[in-house]
Amino acid sequence: MAARKACGGALMRPLTPKSPQWDIFCRVIDNFGDIGVSWRLARILAYDFGQPVRLWVDNVHALAQLEPAFFAQHRTADQTPTHAPIEVIPWTHPAPPILPAPFVIEAFGCTLPSDYQARMPGRTVAWFNLEYFSAEAWVEGCHALYSPEANGLAKQFVFPSTLPTAGGLLCETSLHPERERFMHDADERARWAAHWQIPLPQTQGLSLLLFGYENAALPLLIGELQALKAPPVTLYIPEGRLLSSAAQAVNQPKLVAGQTLALGNLTLHILPFLPQAQFDRLLWLCDINFVRGEDSLVRALWAGKPLIWQIYPTEDHAHWAKLNALLDSISHELSPESRAAWHRINHAWNQQTLSPGDWQRFISALPELSLHAERTRLTLRAQTELASWLVKTAFERLQCATN
C-alpha cells in the first residue's frame, strides 16, 4: 500500500474486511496528552487509510471526555464504543483474551500485557513503539531502530519530530483544506462560533489562546495585555489546570466556562473543554497560541500561528534540551532579533518568570514571527507524515512476511 507522501494528500482506499487490523495500546498518564495522540492516530488510520483499529485504553472515561460525540454515536450498553471503524477496548487487568492484530502500536512505552505478547508470534508482523515527540539531534539516529524482544519479535522505535529524517507529525488529509476554508470564510467562522458559543474576536484586534498548566507568570501576562493601548485584545482560556492561576490574576474567586470579563482593553473569555476538531479551529482563530504538552504543540504548528510551548517539566530537567531543540529546529530562518525574542518568551513562560521586556520584544517581533509560522507549516507539511510512515512500513513488513 502506498503511503501519503505529504500531509494533505489523497485519501486511501475505503474500509474493507480484508484490511489488516491495528491494535493501539495507550495508558492515560497525565491530562489528555497520551490519549489525545493515540485517538488522533486511530482516527487517521481508520478514516484516511481505511484500516480497522482497536484502541486499547486503561481510562475510557478520559477518551469519552475528549470525544463525546463518538461515544454518543457508537456506544453499547456497557458504554464502550464498538462496531465502528474504531473499536475501543477497555485495557483491564487481566487483559481481554483477544488475538493480537497484524500491526501493533504501543504508545509512549506502555508495556503490552504479557499474555498478549505471548500470542503475538505468528500473528503480528509489525510492532511499533511510538515514542514522545522530540527534535533533538539524536532522534534521527534512533528513529526506526529495532529492539529484539523476549517473544522472538522485533519492536521498532518511532519518533515523531519536526526533523526531516525522523517520523514526522500526525496530520489528517482533510486538515489543511479545512483550515483554508475556515481562515478565508467569515460566514463559516461565524457559524462555528455560534454553534460552540465562542465569541469571535474583533476584526482588527489581537487574539490569543492560553492553554497550559498552572503558571505564576500569568498575572504579568494579563497585566501586559491590559496595558496595550491598541489593538483591542481577546484572550481565550479553555477549562483546565490554568484556570486557578487565571482566577488569581484577575482577582476572581473562581472562573467557569461561559464567563466573560472586560478588563480595560482586554476581553477574557472562559471556554468549555472542546473536542479535538474544534480545538483546531480555536487555534486557527487566534493570532498567538500558548499551548502545552505534545498533541497541542503539533496542532499549533499546523495552525501556522506563532506559538509558546509550555513543555511538561521533568525532574532531571531534560525538558529544557527538548524545548531548545524544538525552537532551534524551526527558527533558523528568523532574524537574530526575532529568534532571540521567540526563544526568550518560551523560556520565560516555562520558567514562570515572564518580564515586561520579554513580552514587549515578542510583540515587536510578531509580524515576522507570524510570517515565519506559516512558512514552517508549509515546510512541515511537505515532510513525511507520521501515520503514512507507519502504514508504509507496516505493509512492507507484511509483504516480506507473506513472500
Does residue 321 share a domain with residue 273?
A: yes
Predicted pLDDT at 67: 80
What 8-state DSSP symbol labels residue 240?
S
Cell 505534545 maps to which residue? Answer: 294
Number of domains in the chain: 2
The pLDDT, as a whole number, for residue 203 is 86
Residue 62 within a domain: yes
Long-range contacts of 272-280 (CB under 8 A, 24+ apart): 272/238, 272/239, 273/65, 273/238, 273/239, 273/240, 274/196, 274/238, 275/66, 275/67, 275/68, 275/69, 276/36, 276/39, 276/40, 276/66, 276/67, 278/192, 278/196, 279/238, 280/175, 280/178, 280/179
Distance from C-alpha of 191 to C-alpha of 182, rounded to nearest angstrom:
10
Mean pLDDT across the stretch 124-140?
Answer: 97
Measured CA to CA, the distance from residue 277 to residue 275 in angstroms comes to 6
Reply yes or no on whether the pLDDT at 386 is more than 90.
yes
More confident residue, 126 or 403: 126
Please indicate, yes or no, whether residues 149 and 239 belong to a single structural domain of this protein. no
In this predicted model, which residue has the larger pLDDT, 46 or 75?
A: 46
My answer on whether 274 and 215 are in the same domain is: yes
- For residue 109, what pLDDT band results from cuts at 50, 70 and 90? confident
Residue 54 falls inside a structural domain: yes
Same-domain check for residues 232 and 181: yes
Percent of the chain with pLDDT over 90: 78
* Residues 188, 149 within the same domain: no
The mean predicted confidence, pLDDT, of the chain is 91
Give a yes or no: residue 12 inside a domain.
Answer: no
Full domain range(s) for residue 291 = 175-381
Lowest mean pLDDT among 36-50, 55-69, 128-142: 55-69
Does the pLDDT value for residue 167 go beyond 50?
yes
Q: What is the pLDDT of residues 182-210, one digit of tens each?
A: 999 999 999 999 999 999 998 889 999 99
Question: Would the pLDDT of 220 be above 70?
Answer: yes
Confidence of residue 137 (pLDDT cuts 50, 70, 90): very high
The verdict on 194 and 139 lying in the same domain is no
Q: Identify the three-state secondary structure at position 272.
A: coil
Residue 16 lies in a domain: no
Question: Which helix (H) or strand (E) is 175 found in, with range?
Answer: helix 175-184
Asked whether residue 6 is domain-assigned, the answer is no
Asked if pLDDT for residue 301 goes beyond 70, the answer is: yes
Give the pLDDT score at 69: 76
3-class secondary-structure state, position 167:
coil
Q: Is residue 342 part of a domain?
A: yes
Question: For position 267, which CATH number holds?
Answer: 3.40.50.2000
Q: What is the pLDDT of residue 154?
A: 97
Question: What pLDDT sits at residue 30?
Answer: 67
The CA distance from 261 to 293, in Å, is 27
Contact 116, 89 (CB under 8 A): no
Judge whether 226 lies within some domain: yes
pLDDT at 31: 62
Tell me, yes or no, whether 365 and 242 share the same domain. Answer: yes
Return the pLDDT at 12. Answer: 39
Choose among 112, 282, 119, 126: nearest CA to 196.
282
% of residues, the chain, pLDDT over 70: 92
pTM value is 0.92
Q: Which sequence positions are flagged as catalytic? A: 34, 294
Same domain (yes/no): 377, 389? no
pLDDT in tens, 55-101: 999 888 888 888 877 767 655 545 555 546 899 999 988 888 899 99
Cα dist from 384 to 63, 186, 297, 318, whole Å: 27, 32, 17, 26
Considering the domain boundaries, does residue 8 fall inside one?
A: no
Residue 15, pLDDT > 50, answer no
Whether the pLDDT of residue 7 is over 50: the answer is no
Digit-coded pLDDT (tens) for 253-298: 999 999 999 999 999 999 998 999 999 999 999 999 999 989 999 9
| Res 92: pLDDT | 86
Q: Are residues 186 and 85 in the same domain?
A: no
| 293 and 261 within one domain | yes
Residues 276 and 140 in one domain: no
CA dihedral 235, 241, 244, 247 (to 10 degrees): 10
Q: Are residues 328 and 387 in the same domain?
A: no
